[in-house]
Every structure is written in C-alpha cells, then in structure tokens.
Amino acid sequence: MPSAQQKLSWVIVGQGAIGLLAACRLQQAAYPVALWLRQPNALTVTLETATTKTTCQFAPAQKPLRQLFIAVKAYAVAECLTQLSTELSPDAQLVISHNGMPDLAYLQSVAASAQGIWFLSTSHAALRTADSVLHTGQGQSILSPLNNAARQAESAIVAAMTEALGPVQLTADIRPALWRKLAVNAVINPLTALHNCRNGELVSAAFTAQIARLIAEVCQLAALEHIELELQQTKAHVYQVMQATAQNYSSMQQDRYYQRPLEIDAITGFIIRTASKHQLAVPENQALWEALQQVTSPQSPQP
Ligand code: KPL
C-alpha cells in the first residue's frame, strides 16, 4: 500500500448523492477517480456548493478494482458486493457507506484476508439532480476499519476519506456512531418521505411529540443493545441535523418521490426487528413503518 502522500486512485460505486459528492471532492483534491458504471461512458457531474460550481469528469473504472468507495442503498449492498467480488484486486480496500444499520459481521465475512473492509457513516447532506450534485449540508464522517487488512492501510484510507467526506473521526468501534445516525435517520427519513417535505420542516411543533416518542424508542432499544444513547443529547443531535440540512430533501423523500425502493428496512425495519428480539414495544416506529407501507408516490408535486 503506497503512503498517504502518493494519492491512491479510487473507484466510486453508486452514483447517488453521497457517492458523487465523494467522487467530486476526491477529484478536486487531485485523487484519480473513476466510476463503476453500467454503461462504459464517461460521466460529467457539476458539484454545487453554497459558493462554488465545479465540473467533474469521470471515466469508467478499469479492473482490477483497488480502492473502492461503495455508497449504494443498504438493500443493494449484498448484491453489489457479490457482483464486485470477481473484479477486486487481492489487496483491495473497500469503504462501504449507507444509511441504516449495516450487518458488520456479514461485511467482515465478505473480504478475502488481504482485502480491507471499512464502514463510513456520514452526516454530509447532498442532493442529486440529473447532472449535478448539490452539497446541501456540511457534515462529518465516522470511519472504522473492520478487519486487519484495513487497519494496515489506515493512514492512506483516512487521508482519502478526509478529502471525500471529512472531517473524519477514526474509531475502532463504530456501533455507537451507527446508533446515533440511526436515530437521525429514523426520524428525518420516514417523516420527510411520508409528508413529502424538506428536513427543516420537521422542526414545526406539529411533529414535536411524535419525534420525541420516536427518539425515546430508539434510545430505549439502544440501551438493550448495550449502547449508550442519552435521550436529551440524541434529541439535540437530531434537531441539529434537521437544522443543518433544513433545505435538503432526505434520501428517503427523494426515493419515494422518484418511486424508487425505500431504505426503510435498514432503518425503521431494523428498529422493529431488534425491538421484537428484546420484546420491546416500539409503537411509534411501528406506526411509521405501516404508514409508509401504505403510501405510494406522492400525488402532489415536490414543494
Ligand atoms: O442521511 C440523511 C439522508 O437524507 O439520508 C440526512 C442526514 C437526513 C440528510 O438528509
């Protein structure tokens, strides 16, 4: 593995908002970046921030794939990793990122012994349009090596991920961060999808009681899983993300709007399944799950 100074080339898998945001920012930081594309055509994307507009061009990735940032939906991870398995170099490094609770044991099991596997949880917010990606909320990321081959490549991967979705906090145990993020996504994503609204609209008093109950259920469940998720701090964190991403449409709102499958199974579904394992009632999450099963794409246009 080259040193952090020799910029590694990266392949981005998944052309959603976070994948393309990472791709553009890595390219801006002079990393060679290619995309894993179904069609062998180059892709041009404009990255828009509050103050800048930059055009990025990406070529299709050449095999074997070495450093990969995989930002696909939670429900697509297993199929994606199966498809990629024959395309990877024996010493590949795979950084996986998605909303919802990952199956860390499964991720550890898919990598060959010299292949590094990582999980990255990010609070950056971005919105993908036809040919651009808007960086709508500045965030940060938590990054965790999930095996030895990852730990051996630590400095180079951390350096790249700092450019892509930094600032990055490296941790040996990502589970507390995943639960914090789960609390955020369990509130913002299903509610914005159900009500077809921007993240910031959830600060309205109309949602206060429901949000408090959703968060209380997640905190109670976390305690049963031996994760400390303090109620008031978690509430403050959820509201802070809502405000920091106020203008954003959440990924689930976008998925519902464009009639794509929702990532609800890895978020609310995970909460309901885990609660049932502990015989804990989570009626507010259950009701939200049921409400989302019943709705189809919103009739009204995106506000
Ligand atoms: O993770 C997000 C998402 O949309 O999936 C948040 C943080 C809620 C930003 O929109």
Same domain flag for 42 and 166 = yes
Same domain flag for 152 and 282 = no
CA gap 208, 14 in Å, rounded:
34
17 within domain boundaries? yes
First to last CA, the chain: 48
Same domain flag for 158 and 200 = no
- Say if residues 180 and 237 touch (Cβ distance below 8 Å): yes
Return the CATH number at 26: 3.40.50.720
Q: Which residues lie below 8 Å from residue 14, measured CB to CB, with a gap of 6+?
A: 36, 70, 71, 72, 73, 76, 80
pLDDT at 299: 47
In the listed set 118, 151, 170, which residue is the last one of a domain according to the structure?
Answer: 170
Same domain flag for 247 and 263 = yes
- Say if residues 269 and 79 touch (Cβ distance below 8 Å): no
Report the domain count for the chain.
2
**CB of 93 closer than 6 angstroms to any ligand 1 atom:** no
pLDDT at 1: 52
2 within domain boundaries? no
Same domain flag for 157 and 239 = no
**CB of 250 closer than 6 angstroms to any ligand 1 atom:** yes
Per-residue pLDDT of the chain (303 residues; tens, 9 = 90+): 555 467 999 999 999 999 999 999 999 999 999 999 877 788 999 999 989 999 999 999 999 999 999 999 999 999 999 999 999 999 999 999 999 999 999 999 999 999 999 999 998 989 999 899 999 888 899 999 999 999 999 999 999 999 999 999 999 999 999 999 999 999 999 999 999 999 999 999 999 999 999 999 999 999 999 999 999 999 999 999 999 889 899 999 999 999 999 999 999 999 999 999 999 999 999 999 999 998 865 444 444
Which residues span the domain enclosing 79? 10-170
Same domain flag for 19 and 136 = yes
**CB of 192 closer than 6 angstroms to any ligand 1 atom:** no
Same domain flag for 110 and 133 = yes
Same domain flag for 42 and 157 = yes
What is the distance in A from the centroid of ligand 1 to the CA of 199? 8
Same domain flag for 30 and 165 = yes
What is the distance in A from the centroid of ligand 1 to the CA of 113? 33
Same domain flag for 249 and 277 = yes
pLDDT at 2: 52
C-beta atoms surrounding 167 within 10 Å: 10
CA gap 70, 164 in Å, rounded:
12
181 is catalytic: yes
Say whether pTM exceeds 0.85: yes
Same domain flag for 151 and 186 = no
Return the CATH number at 203: 1.10.1040.10
- Say if residues 15 and 118 touch (Cβ distance below 8 Å): no
Same domain flag for 162 and 231 = no
pLDDT at 273: 98
What is the distance in A from the centroid of ligand 1 to the CA of 99? 8
